[in-house]
Structure formats: structure tokens, C-alpha cells
Amino acid sequence: MDGGAMTDSPHILSDRPTEDADDPAADGFHDFWADAVADEIEARDPTDPIVIKGGVSPSGVAHLGNVNEIMRGHFVAEVLRERGHEVRQVFTSDDKDPLRKLPRKLADADGEIVGLGDVDAGALGRNLGKPYTAIPDPFGERESYAAHFAALLRADADRLDVPIEMVSNTALYADGAFDEAIHTVLSDLDGVRDTLGAYQNKVDDEYVPFNPVCAECGTITETVTAVDPAAGTVEYACTDLEVGDDVIEGCGHEGTATFREGKLPWRLEWPAQWDVLDIDFEPFGKDHAEGSWPSGVDLARTVFDTEPPVPMVYEWFTLGGETLSSSAGNVVTVPELLEILEVEVVRYFFALHPKRGRDLDIQRIDQLVDRFDRFERAYFGEVDNAELTRFAERAYPFVVGPSLDRPADADPADRIRLPYTFAAVLGMVEDPALREQLARDEGHIGDDAPEWAVREALGRVERARTWAERTDNEYNYRLQTTLPDVDLDDDVAAALDDLADVVAAGTDGEAIQAAMYDTARDHDVEVSDFFEAGYRLFFDQPQGPRLGEFLGDLEREYVVSRLRREA
């Protein structure tokens, strides 16, 4: 390592800023981390378009962890665009990698997670060791497994309003984009071995960093017997491929491959991508921070004669306190999340500081929404907290994104957010008009609320409803449209009849609530038993929301006949 090593740490959001009086971009504190990253990029004085990269190897499921690669880069891209730069955000699908083992779970085209039993698993098993782009789509829809997976990521980016350019690694090889890089590597084998050997023990005097695809069986091979950089070819033997404890058998074929008929190993492929795609910035997970990043930096400079991009390490997050694991089923996809959260809430989650380990807890997703709502209120100057307000003023415009469907003359400050758990309560009734009425009665929607704001506010109800159902939590009650099957004591039944009379006479929710207590006492019924009877009649459950006021908002005929057990 030379003197530049100090600045090669990928932890640019943790390190103390380097003192550099000549650097006009290093202008100190930022409330939004993406600004600090953008400073680093601008300090390199890059030429437009600035290119931001993310990348992922096709696995079975595009889960929310992969979204880090998309969203972290996106916020930086947007900040740079605001500063007047042209920015491209590319996303490489590292799809020339071989399928090394069968995934336990797959996501279908809609993002729904399915097991291997639901697809043609045998087709996958027969293709172990082959590039993802050479394996049929298990769902039979796209041209390959890789294409299927890339389409999932593309769809997720679209759903999150992030414009990305998908780049197939296989296509880059096929088009010859890597030809020069491979030529460079194979022309200086000693140099590459020296550099890479400092990071990887497997690199010895025999090591050739190029993996041809066997012309006979199509698997990726690791045994190169001769190289001819000038001719642009290598000689190889299709030997066994060790994958963890397993072995993918080679066919024994010996042949010649061009640079377009193979791939670089990851440690070299990554810096080669930086060079070929002219990457200025790349966020990556902490697993890369101490492994491939330092070696990539070194290889970029010593082998490819290029400067590595500005890095940024993000912490992984957990789901319900556990690490994400598609095989263990502990994953959540973007489509799933968007069934319970507005897009802006998901984007907000990724606008939070990348260096913080975070837990996404579906059971208590209302907490995340509450925090978003507060963040939004801070943007509109409604929260007495200077720090939060500074962060919100900077980050909120990037978080809400372009997706809001509002009239041109809408004042964003007029937006309405129903508290998420209240929205879940409204989700107990199905009728949209009744939902709105309840929200108005509770004062969440004012008389002068614009139509678009009401529509947006009520959009949360269905999401909260889905959440309640999916987690089967204390909001998962459903107003019963038909009379549930309930056994009632005679005195409870008599009390219900009395209560029905009170409601029939016309009274408001508060009075109904009061009448419930009075009626119960009149009939010598335990108050709790009486409430339970009410909950069973209306929700087919022993508990529920504050009942009297809830009933007061429902249609009177319906309430009366239900209390009388008539319908």
C-alpha cells in the first residue's frame, strides 16, 4: 500500500473528512448523506455523464436487500442531477456467473416467492455450472434464468420510480467490451498474480484469471492450459468445478476459447467493469468492503491503469431481527412491501443513513410509517426539531419522488396522512364512503381538504388493511356483512334488544357507548361480557375497536337489525 491507502477506505461516511484546503467541494457538514457522497464524486472532477453503478448476481429472489444497490445509488444520482450534472445509473446483472447451486426459493414474474417444487427444478439441476444466461427461465417466460431475474430487478426499480439502465454482463463479453481488459490481464499474468496474490492465497504461478465456457458442455471451466493474448485465445480443459463441498463435473473436453467465450473471475471482473463502463461511483454491501474492494482498487491501478470509483459501504439490514435469507424464507420483495406501504415510505427507508444497521419489522411497520409521517411533517415545518427538520428539508424532495398524482395547482402542504394504525381501523369496514366518513368524523380530514389529498389519505387504508391481514394482528377485524353464528345468554340477548331500541331511536356514537354500560347494568350482565357479545355480532371476534362510537358511524338500520340478530 502506498500513501494513497488512507483515502482508499470505502467507509467514506464514517471516516473523518480529509483536510484539503484546495478542495472546494469539501465544504463541511451535510444533513443528507447523499450530499457528502456527491461531494466526494465532484472532488474527482468527473466528466459528464457521471456514471453510477450497482450490481447483483442473479439469485432466486430479488429481495429488499438488493434494493440497496438501486436506491442508494439513486439518491446520489438525484443529488448530482440537482447540482447540474448529467447522470447515468447503470445496474449490472452479473449473469455470466455460473449457477453454483440450486436456489431454494424463486420469485415469479410478479415477485411472488415460490418453492423449487413449483417450477421445472430438473432443468435447473441439469444446468449447474453454466452461466445464468445459458439456463432456461424456470418459469418458461423469458429467454433465460438471467433474463427472468433481471426483469424482476427492473420491475422493482420501476415500482420505486428509479430510472436505471440494466446491463447484462454476458452481453458485455459477447460484444467484446471486455476484450481489451482481458487482453491486458493475460498479457501481464505475472503482474496480475503479484497484485492479486497479495489478497488471495489461491493465486500461484499457475493461476490464470480467465474462465472459459466449455464449448462442449457449456459449463464455466477453471483450467486454462495456455494463453495467446495476441491471438485473443486461451486453451482450456473442462475439469471438475469445486463448489463448496460439492463438485460440478467437467466433461473433459479440451478446446480453444476466445475472450468472448469466457469470463474474468469476480476479483478482476469488478475493476474491469469500472474501467469499461467508466464508473464514477458505486455503493456496495459490507461484505465487499474488506475483500474485493481493496484488491479491486489495487488491480484497477496496477493492471487496468484506471482510478477506482468513489465507494460507499452500506450496512445490511435485518428483517424482523433476522438476517435476510431466501432459503429460510426470511425475505420480503418490493411488490410485497408496496402492498402495505406507500412508495415514498419505502424510499424513505433507504434515505436513512447507510452506515446504520437497521431492522425492518413487518409486524410493526406502523412505526416506520409513523417516522416517515413525522419526517414529512418536519419538511413542512410542523415539527419542533431542528435536526430532523434540516434533514427533512434536504432529503424529503428526493424521497417523495415523481410518482405523486396530484393536480398542477395542488399545494403539497395540504396532504393528509392518516395515522397508520387508524387507517388499519378504517380497514375493518369495506365501504370506501364509510371509511371516508369515519376519517372525517375523527377530524383527520378537514371540510376544506382537496379531493386529491383525500384520495391519497384513503389510499393508506387498503395498505394498512393488507398489513393487518398479513400479520393477523390486533387490527385484523372485519365488519361482518352477515350475522355470525353466536350463542347468547337470555339476559345478554335482552340487553342487546334494549340497546337496539336505543339505537333505533336515533343516537350518536358516544351515546351508544354510554348506553352499552347502562343496558348491561340494567340486565345484570357483566360489561365485559356485553362488549364481547357486541364484538362477536359485528366482527365475529371477542374483541375489537371502541365499539359504541364505531357503531354510531355505521348505517342505523344495519346496526339495529344486527343487534336484534335479525340479519
Does residue 491 touch RNA according to CB under 7 A?
no
Report the residue number, 80 or 418, with the smaller CB distance to RNA: 418
Q: How far apart are CA 190 and CA 195, in angstroms?
A: 9
Does residue 99 touch RNA according to CB under 7 A?
no
Does residue 478 touch RNA according to CB under 7 A?
no
Site for RNA in 220-259 (CB under 7 A): 242, 244
Site for RNA in 259-288 (CB under 7 A): 265-267, 286-288
Does residue 470 touch RNA according to CB under 7 A?
no
DSSP 3-state helix, strand, coil percentages of the chain (rounded to 5)? 45, 15, 40
The C-alpha cell of 450 is what? 382537496
Does residue 189 touch RNA according to CB under 7 A?
no
Minimum distance between the CB of residue 357 and RNA, rounded to whole angstroms? 5
Kind and range of the H or E run holding 172:
helix 169-174
Which positions from 127 to 166 touch RNA by CB under 7 A, shown as an x/- string? ----------------------------------------
Q: What SS3 state is found at 226?
A: strand
CB 324 within 8 A of CB 66: no
Please count the residues of this chain forming the interface with RNA, following the rule CB under 7 A: 88
Which positions from 525 to 564 touch RNA by CB under 7 A, shown as an x/- string? -xxxx-xx--x-------xxxxxxxx--x-----------
Minimum distance between the CB of residue 109 and RNA, rounded to whole angstroms? 22
Choose the binding region for RNA from 118-126, 290-298, 330-338, 339-347 (rule: CB under 7 A).
Answer: 290-298
DSSP letters for 43-109: HT-PPSSEEEEEEE---S---HHHHHHHHHHHHHHHHHHHTT--EEEEEEE-TTSBP-S--SEEE-T
Q: Applying CB under 7 A, which of residues 183, 253, 355, 394 lies at the interface with RNA?
A: 355
Count Cβ atoms within 10 A of the Cβ of residue 390 and give its class: 0-12 exposed, 13-18 middle, 19 or more buried: middle
Site for RNA in 393-452 (CB under 7 A): 419, 421-422, 425, 438, 442-443
- Whether residue 49 has a cis bond before it, omega within 30° of 0: yes
Of 60, 62, 55, 91, residue with least CA distance to 152:
62
Pairing of strands 322-323, 317-319: antiparallel
Which positions from 33 to 52 touch RNA by CB under 7 A, shown as an x/- string? ---x----------------
Choose the binding region for RNA from 76-84, 331-339, 480-488, 523-531 (rule: CB under 7 A).
Answer: 523-531
Site for RNA in 313-352 (CB under 7 A): 313, 315-317, 321, 323, 352
Minimum distance between the CB of residue 7 and RNA, rounded to whole angstroms? 13
From the CB of residue 298, how many other CB atoms can be counted at a distance below 10 Å? 22
Does residue 382 touch RNA according to CB under 7 A?
no
Does residue 353 touch RNA according to CB under 7 A?
yes
Amino acid found at 543: Q
Q: How far apart are CA 236 and CA 517, in angstroms?
A: 86
